[in-house]
Amino acid sequence: MEKVSAHVQLKSTAQSFEQSNHLSSLFQLLSIKDPDVAQHSHRVHEWVRDWLEFLNQDPVQADDSAVKTVRSIQVEIELAALLHDIGKLGVLSEILNKKQALSEDEWRMMKLHVDLGYQMLERLPGFDLIAALIRQHHERFDGRGYPLGLEGSQITPGAQLISIVDAFDAMTSKRCYQKQRSTSEALEELKNEAGRQFDPYWVKSFIRFTQQSFEFRADLKV
């Protein structure tokens, strides 16, 4: 399958020239405000895109109903992956880049980014699902996430994919507030959080995908 750049995909998914310009402008503003967040968003988009391509060919899961569901909304999931942090346009830079632990008030403001992203996109024709995926990408499998406290099957599968990749990239990237982890360490953490933060089904799938994507084979049972 030919890979489509994030910029081209924004243009092809937007239903009008005005929508395309609006989305491109939003992402450009995010790139100016916080290049690290924008680069993270690009990486999450690429990981999700490649994982979905893997699912299209994976003999283990190809016929599963969950996989068929995410394949039916693949374009929306990929766009939501690219725009999942767009709501951070409304979060103070001092909070986004703070090296120390956030205060209770700062953390409350940080968590608003999912609702802000949702509000930015929900009224665009055809973007209701993308907006919902953005809003749900910090929900947890055990129901302790935000902003809605959804759990298990209440969470749209596409949001679960974005959540896993978002966490994986955050762990394996240089961040001012945490130590960068190796790929194996990040995969082990995802495995440890299966059934709590993440859906075990999708954690197993992501580990299989990464094992085929890297030259090494992580020492993890799936």
- The tens digit of pLDDT for each residue in 144-194 reads 999 999 999 999 989 999 999 999 999 998 766 677 899 999 999 999 999
State pTM to two decimals.
0.88
Residue 102 Cα to chain centre, angstroms: 22
pLDDT at 216: 45
Euclidean distance between CA atoms 83 and 5, whole angstroms = 14
Domains of the chain, each with CATH number or no CATH: 6-213 (1.10.3210.10)
Cβ contacts of 8 within 8 Å, gap of 6 or more: none
Distance of CA 57 to the CA centre of its chain: 21
The answer to whether residue 8 scores a pLDDT higher than 70 is no
- Per-residue model confidence as pLDDT tens digits over 63-110: 789 999 999 999 999 999 999 999 999 999 999 988 888 999 999 999
State whether residue 5 is helix, strand or coil: coil
Tell me: pLDDT of 130 over 80. yes
pLDDT score of 5: 55
Interatomic CA distance for residues 175 and 73, integer angstroms: 31
- Residues of the chain with pLDDT > 90, as a percent, come to 70
Mean pLDDT in the chain?
87
Position with higher pLDDT, 202 vs 56: 202
Indicate the helix (H) or strand (E) that contains 108.
Answer: helix 104-111
CA–CA separation, 14 vs 9, rounded Å?
8
Pairwise CA distance, residues 99 & 21, whole Å: 34
Neighbouring CB atoms inside 10 A of 8's CB total: 10
d(CA 100, CA 177): 6
Q: What angle do CA 37, 177, 50 make, to 5 degrees?
A: 40
Closest CA to 52 of 147, 146, 164: 164
pLDDT confidence of residue 1: 39
- Per-residue pLDDT at 13: 53
Residue 185 token pair:
């360490």
In terms of Cα–Cα distance, which of 157, 215, 159, 156 is closest to 183? 215
